[in-house]
Chain A
Amino acid sequence: MGIRFILMVNKQGQTRLAQYYEWLTLEERRALEGEIVRKCLARNEQQCSFVEHRNYKIVYRRYASLFFLVGVDNDENELAILEFIHLLVETMDRHFGNVCELDIMFHLEKAHFMLEEMVMNGSIVETSKANILSPIQLMDKAS
């Protein structure tokens, strides 16, 4: 199991999306999010995009006002995760057209659907944007 959780957090530290691939209770999530968001937001542009926290390694990347944080196991390829974040953003861009924080807030379920296509059991299973988006487009059409 490589990816343990994916978070989207704005620069005020407010959670915009949270998906966990291992079960944590509400309190544990709250504590974990608070700690890592504080850690990551305090870092500057020149520093590494990786932070170690407890048993996790957090790979994060900032797009405008939104931070994407991915918690991974120790033996995960950090650069690849960084690229995965970019792929996620590109995919959302393709769907929403120049995605912004509000798009994710208003269409939270769609952002989740995309993640469901890309990651299963904590592993990256799909990287083709067309494949990721086709079920979502089909659902949009049907309803």
Chain B
Amino acid sequence: MGSQGGFYQSKEFLDLVKSIGEARSKAEEDRIVLNEIETLKRRISEPDIPKRKMKEYIIRLVYIEMLGHDASFGYIHAVKMTHDDSLLVKRTGYLAVTLFLNEDHDLIILIVNTIQKDLKSDNYLVVCAALNAVCKLINEETIPAVLPQVMELLAHPKEAVRKKAIMALHRFYQKSPSSVSHLVSNFRKRLCDNDPGVMGATLCPLFELIARDVNSYKDLVISFVSILKQVAERRLSKAYDCHQMPAPFIQIKLLKILALLGSGDKQASENMYTVVGDIFRKCDSSSNIGNAVLYECICCVSSIYPNPKLLESAADVISRFLKSDSHNLKYMGIDALGRLIKISPEIAEQHQLAVIDCLEDPDDTLKRKTFELLYKMTKSTNVEVIVDRMIDYMISISDNHYKTEIASRCVELAEQFAPSNQWFIQTMNRVFEHAGDLVNIKVAHSLMRLIAEGFGEDDDNADSKLRSSAVESYLRILGEPKLPSVFLQVICWVLGEYGTADGMFSASDITGKLCDVAEAYSNDETVKAYATTALMKIYAFEIAARRKVDMLPECQSLMEELLASHSTDLQQRAYELQAVIGLDAHAVDCIMPSDASCEDIEVDRDLSFLNDYIQEAIEKGAQPYIPESERSGMLNISNFRNQDHHEASSHGLRFEAYELPKPAVQSRIPQALIASTEIVPVPEPMYPRESYQTTMPSIPSDAGSAELKLRLEGVQKKWGRPTYTPATSTSNSTSQKTVNGTSQGDGASTVSSMRETYDSRKPQVEVSHEKQKLAASLFGGSSKTEKRPATGHKAAKASSHMVEKSHVPKSSMEVASDKAASAQQPPDLLDLGEPTATSTALQLDPFKQLEGLLDTTEVASAVNGAPAASISPDIMALYVDTAAGIHNKNDADLLSGLSNPSVTNMPGTTAMPQVTQSSSKRPNPKDSLEKDALCRCGFACSWAVDRTIIQAILVFIYYYQIYARDCHINVIQPY
């Protein structure tokens, strides 16, 4: 058949294809296609188009989409074409539909009926065409429409139909495992199909099933082994051969399945050894496909229970791959090596020079693969070289996707194996500097935490040295243009906390730098916020140290700008800063103690400092607080509330948000009911006690041990220990071996013999001294070994220092560690997590402060209370800090006894939930307006005030203090 097109193709089509083929540029191609779209739009809706013509149109539509243009105007014609009687036209219609539509497209529903009909066709080719469409177009909802017919077709006399029916079922399983879970046994049955094609296809779904649930398929090990044996012995039809290899694709699939089934299962693996060994021997290593099978054998051998003989064969193949001139084989060799070193780490040593060749190869693909290998074989002895190389490479590439990956790997390795703090900080600096915006923000947080907590528990000196060196390096780095935001955040935080700590740099040095940062990155609000808080800390430390504070002019102008900022967060920080500067040394020291980011915040849960107030208020005639459970009027109130609820719901208002405390009361009642009614025959006191005895102790002890474990693991794994244990133990032993004289000689001899063979192959290439040095530092193989264990020891020592630190290993459980890490972060790091409930409040002890400040409150609220209350809350709510707005009123009510008209008829305490709810949730102005309105309606009387709520309020009382003096300004500030 010539390339000039078939018999039936029109001149128009030939011209189109030719012109596309001859198009010299993308623009020309686009022009042709746009023209074609216009033509087709006109032609395709003409009446009575002959079938062949229509088929051609549809293929032209396929061209349009393939070349990147929208052809949706013709989809419906493709759908119509699937109804055609002619097989070729029908199949072309199905093809076009599968190319055009995804399974959720609206037109699919029009095709399902056709598919159903075609599945019942007598012509098996029609059935096959329909099954192809089923695999691409049926979604979860339409599965039931075709499932019965597909099931019938599994027993079709034609093998081609059985094969496609199996794949359709496979597709259903992929889409919705539950819809066909009762039918998975069919895959097992089809494994015994007489036709090798059907059997081969069945391996695909089985592979997926086994990957999900290995244990249910252990019984098939024998079958798979015997099939593989038959395939390897050429029992299948010659039609499946490729380059004299018997059915290689089936062999590969079987080897993949065996790798899953034999993983960690000695008994199952033993059944496989013979056949895998046979394949190793029989494979033709000169053909591409032969090597593909050999590679799959290595994967299988490194996954199943280890067998020395097979490992040896695998190692042989790997060295053949690595020595090959073909880059493809080298790539496969590096990958295979990465798999095998998990089981026998010593194998890496003999290939060190080949590995380094690959690392320095200009081919990017090969280089990346080699980095992957290095990543797998990193330990504390070679981490410096490897991470260094990785970062160099990271800097050199521009592909963000890979940059992110390699950056996170660097961080992971550095966290796990860092030999010293200095090195760790330097490494992190480099990673942040060059890939800062690509790394996870959590990494930045953990770096801050690390600098704050230090490494050694009792070595304060080392910690402060670490911090000064961090500060110093950051001040240097700040000179560089265009730093990533995440990195700047770290820098600002560290400068704020520790910039002036060692006295090397004056406050004006640091604040000047911080102002520069805020100015240079004025578009980045997060960085600005960090810088502002850092400024506040620096000034606070100065004030606390009773030094005179001179605000730099640039800092002042920055503050002026921020005070009027559109960002509420920045504005608030600026006000906080202003407020702090106005305080005296003692107060500042309480609010902002230096280097207290790691200190636990003590919370006075009894709120004992309020006792005087309460006493005073009671003396003045206020109602004492009664816990909800003890309130005598509770029933009435709840009745009242229910009534309200009814009325309210009929009016269309929602009150759901106010029913939070209800379950606590209700749950108590059902418990009592159960105890008294349901368990009548059992002596009443016995049952609950028993259940307590059995359940109660187990929970705390569990939790306790889990906590304990978590800590220990975190400590040991984070420093000095490699990711996977088996590799460590062996690698340690090898490195020890190399230290003592005799085996060092051994190592050297293997190296040199290795070099000989290497040289003989490539005589023109002299193995350079540098390369050997690199090899030695990577693999710990030759001359420089004495130095290495020392660093390892140091790392181990460092790890023993870490006992009290509860870092969680990154590698072991990514998810868990992430959670734990975020939970463990000192509150300071959460700075920006919640926009306005900021660190300052958490960092200091608000309750201690309160006592001192309360006096001013009375004055302030006595003065401010009246105007604050008189200004309508709506306006207040519109003001950025909504909660504070509402708060003013209630503070006044609670603290000074000045009562707001709208709240007077309730005891002070009952209004409080209102405040906390809105304040803790930080609602938008609309929300708070609503709530405020509700509050005034007086619906919230029956709230239970629990302690946490009071604490939250107190945080806000504190805030109110800071804001009190600015109250007027706040309110009139334009929003």
A124 to B401 alpha-carbon distance, docked (Å): 29
Q: How near does chain B come to A15, taking the closest CB pair, in angstroms?
A: 6
Q: Assess A102 versus B21: contact at CB under 8 Å? Given A79-B288, A120-B167, A125-B204.
A: yes
Contact B174 A108 (CB under 8 A): no
A17 to B17 alpha-carbon distance, docked (Å): 13
Q: Assess A129 versus B401: contact at CB under 8 Å? Given A107-B6, A143-B87.
A: no
Contact A102 B197 (CB under 8 A): no
- CB-CB under 8 A from A97, the residues of chain B are 1
Residue of chain B at shortest CB distance from A134: B160
Contact B167 A14 (CB under 8 A): no
- Count of A residues near B, CB < 8 Å? 61
Contact B21 A50 (CB under 8 A): no
Residue of chain A at shortest CB distance from B131: A120
- CB-CB under 8 A from B330, the residues of chain A are 48
**A100-128: which have CB < 8 Å to B?**
100-103, 105-109, 112-113, 116, 120-121, 123-128
- Proximity string of chain A (1-40) to chain B, C-beta cutoff 8 Å, 1 when within and 0 when not: 1000000000010110111000100100110010000000
A29 to B237 alpha-carbon distance, docked (Å): 39
Contact A79 B332 (CB under 8 A): yes
- CB-CB under 8 A from A128, the residues of chain B are 197, 237, 239-240
- CB-CB under 8 A from B67, the residues of chain A are 14-15
Q: How near does chain B come to A132, taking the closest CB pair, in angstroms?
A: 10
Is B70 engaged at the interface, CB distance under 8 Å to the other chain? yes
Q: A82-B288, A121-B171 are in contact. List 4 more A-B contacts (CB 8 A).
A: A79-B332, A109-B59, A120-B132, A127-B247
Contact A109 B135 (CB under 8 A): no
15 pairs, A vs B, C-beta closer than 8 Å: A1-B174, A46-B327, A49-B328, A77-B292, A79-B292, A84-B249, A106-B4, A109-B62, A109-B91, A120-B167, A127-B240, A130-B239, A131-B160, A140-B88, A143-B88
- CB-CB under 8 A from B4, the residues of chain A are 102, 106
Contact A131 B296 (CB under 8 A): no
Is A41 engaged at the interface, CB distance under 8 Å to the other chain? no
Is A78 engaged at the interface, CB distance under 8 Å to the other chain? yes
Contact A139 B328 (CB under 8 A): no
Most buried by B among A80, A102, A109, A130: A80
- Complex partner residue of A77 from B250, B252, B365, CB under 8 angstroms: B252
- Proximity string of chain B (236-257) to chain A, C-beta cutoff 8 Å, 1 when within and 0 when not: 0101101000011110100000
A63 to B839 alpha-carbon distance, docked (Å): 64
Q: How near does chain A come to B711, taking the closest CB pair, in angstroms?
A: 35
A140 to B92 alpha-carbon distance, docked (Å): 13
Contact B3 A102 (CB under 8 A): yes
Contact A77 B95 (CB under 8 A): no
A139 to B34 alpha-carbon distance, docked (Å): 32
Q: Assess A77 versus B197: contact at CB under 8 Å? Given A23-B103, A26-B70, A101-B21.
A: no
A83 to B345 alpha-carbon distance, docked (Å): 31
- CB-CB under 8 A from B63, the residues of chain A are 108
Is A51 engaged at the interface, CB distance under 8 Å to the other chain? yes
Contact A103 B3 (CB under 8 A): yes
Q: How near does chain B come to A110, taking the closest CB pair, in angstroms?
A: 9
Contact A52 B402 (CB under 8 A): yes
**A33-92: which have CB < 8 Å to B?**
33, 46-54, 77-80, 82-84, 86-87
- Complex partner residue of B401 from A15, A54, A105, A108, CB under 8 angstroms: A54
Chain B's interface size range is 35 or more
Contact A48 B363 (CB under 8 A): yes
Q: Assess A79 versus B70: contact at CB under 8 Å? Given A23-B103, A125-B204, A135-B125.
A: no
**Which 6 A-B residue pairs are closest in the complex by CB-CB distance?**
A79-B292, A128-B239, A102-B3, A123-B204, A23-B102, A120-B167
A102 to B327 alpha-carbon distance, docked (Å): 31
Contact B402 A79 (CB under 8 A): no
Contact A127 B292 (CB under 8 A): no
Is B736 engaged at the interface, CB distance under 8 Å to the other chain? no
Contact A78 B95 (CB under 8 A): no
- CB-CB under 8 A from A130, the residues of chain B are 239
- CB-CB under 8 A from B291, the residues of chain A are 79
- CB-CB under 8 A from A127, the residues of chain B are 200, 240, 242, 247, 249-250
- CB-CB under 8 A from B1, the residues of chain A are 96-97, 103
Contact B6 A106 (CB under 8 A): yes
Contact A121 B135 (CB under 8 A): yes
- CB-CB under 8 A from A102, the residues of chain B are 3-4, 17, 21
- Complex partner residue of B239 from A46, A51, A131, A142, CB under 8 angstroms: A131
Contact B3 A100 (CB under 8 A): yes
Q: How near does chain B come to A73, taking the closest CB pair, in angstroms?
A: 12
Contact A80 B327 (CB under 8 A): no
Is B109 engaged at the interface, CB distance under 8 Å to the other chain? no
Residue of chain B at shortest CB distance from A15: B66
Residue of chain A at shortest CB distance from B9: A106
- Proximity string of chain B (307-337) to chain A, C-beta cutoff 8 Å, 1 when within and 0 when not: 0000000000000000000011011100000
Is B534 engaged at the interface, CB distance under 8 Å to the other chain? no
Contact B288 A125 (CB under 8 A): no
Contact A116 B95 (CB under 8 A): yes
Residue of chain B at shortest CB distance from A33: B68
- CB-CB under 8 A from A48, the residues of chain B are 327-328, 330-331, 363, 365-366
Q: How near does chain B come to A27, taking the closest CB pair, in angstroms?
A: 8
Contact A121 B174 (CB under 8 A): yes
Contact B9 A79 (CB under 8 A): no
A49 to B328 alpha-carbon distance, docked (Å): 6
- CB-CB under 8 A from A33, the residues of chain B are 68
- CB-CB under 8 A from B6, the residues of chain A are 106-107
- Proximity string of chain B (15-56) to chain A, C-beta cutoff 8 Å, 1 when within and 0 when not: 001001101100001000000000000000000000000000
**B227-286: which have CB < 8 Å to A?**
237, 239-240, 242, 247-250, 252
Contact B125 A131 (CB under 8 A): no
- CB-CB under 8 A from B164, the residues of chain A are 120
A126 to B365 alpha-carbon distance, docked (Å): 30
Contact B239 A109 (CB under 8 A): no
Is B473 engaged at the interface, CB distance under 8 Å to the other chain? no
A108 to B331 alpha-carbon distance, docked (Å): 34
Q: How near does chain A come to B78, taking the closest CB pair, in angstroms?
A: 12
A97 to B3 alpha-carbon distance, docked (Å): 10
Residue of chain A at shortest CB distance from B90: A139
Residue of chain A at shortest CB distance from B325: A46
Contact A50 B5 (CB under 8 A): no
Residue of chain A at shortest CB distance from B329: A79
Contact A29 B239 (CB under 8 A): no
Is B83 engaged at the interface, CB distance under 8 Å to the other chain? no
Contact A78 B327 (CB under 8 A): no
A39 to B4 alpha-carbon distance, docked (Å): 32
Q: Assess A79 versus B289: contact at CB under 8 Å? Given A23-B102, A26-B68, A125-B201.
A: yes
- CB-CB under 8 A from B65, the residues of chain A are 26
Is B86 engaged at the interface, CB distance under 8 Å to the other chain? yes
Q: How near does chain A come to B325, taking the closest CB pair, in angstroms?
A: 9
- CB-CB under 8 A from A49, the residues of chain B are 328
Contact B128 A135 (CB under 8 A): yes
Residue of chain B at shortest CB distance from A128: B239
A57 to B247 alpha-carbon distance, docked (Å): 24
- CB-CB under 8 A from B402, the residues of chain A are 52
Contact A80 B92 (CB under 8 A): no
Is B779 engaged at the interface, CB distance under 8 Å to the other chain? no
Q: How near does chain A come to B328, taking the closest CB pair, in angstroms?
A: 5
Contact B66 A18 (CB under 8 A): yes
A75 to B745 alpha-carbon distance, docked (Å): 39
- CB-CB under 8 A from A80, the residues of chain B are 248-249, 252, 289, 292, 296
Contact B87 A124 (CB under 8 A): no
- CB-CB under 8 A from A26, the residues of chain B are 65, 68-70
Contact B59 A108 (CB under 8 A): yes
Q: Assess A87 versus B242: contact at CB under 8 Å? Given A48-B328, A80-B252.
A: yes
- Complex partner residue of B292 from A15, A46, A51, A83, CB under 8 angstroms: A83
Q: How near does chain B come to A11, taking the closest CB pair, in angstroms?
A: 13
Q: Assess A83 versus B239: contact at CB under 8 Å? Given A26-B70, A52-B368, A131-B160.
A: no
Contact A79 B163 (CB under 8 A): no
- CB-CB under 8 A from B295, the residues of chain A are 77, 79
A87 to B78 alpha-carbon distance, docked (Å): 30
